[in-house]
Amino acid sequence: MPCTARVRASLARYLFTAPNADLRRRIAILRQTPFPPGSRSLATDDEWHGLEESFTRHRAFIYGTNDNALVYTYDGSTETLSIEPAVVEGSVVGHH
């Protein structure tokens, strides 16, 4: 069953002005399953673990490659997935 998925406003604005089919496909997948194959805990990711300190309420996950990925949290009690920043061409976008 699909969960409620929220996209941070700054990331949504970025995706509106710079469409990225790969990230949009990943958002659609996350709406269906909050932990798809290929997603991993941000804390265990060598490249992006430093972003984890931005997330204090829930454990953060990354879904994608080091070049193109979504960073998200999932609250199982409300079945809400929050897509925070993204990684595009190796840089963080849509953060704060």
Domain boundaries, the chain: 4-93
Instruction: Tell me how far apart the alpha carbons of residues 54 and 73 are, in angstroms, rounded to a whole number.
Output: 11
The tokens describing 92, both together, are 């963080």
β-sheet bridge partners, residue 83 = 7, 72
Instruction: Tell me how far apart the alpha carbons of residues 28 and 58 are, in angstroms, rounded to a whole number.
Output: 21
In this structure, CATH architecture of domain 4-93 = 2-Layer Sandwich (3.30)
* pTM, 2 dp: 0.89
Digit-coded pLDDT (tens) for 39-63: 999 888 888 878 877 777 788 999 9
- Residue 96: what pLDDT? 60
Q: Are 70 and 63 in contact (CB under 8 A)?
A: yes
Digit-coded pLDDT (tens) for 63-94: 999 899 999 999 988 999 999 899 999 888 88
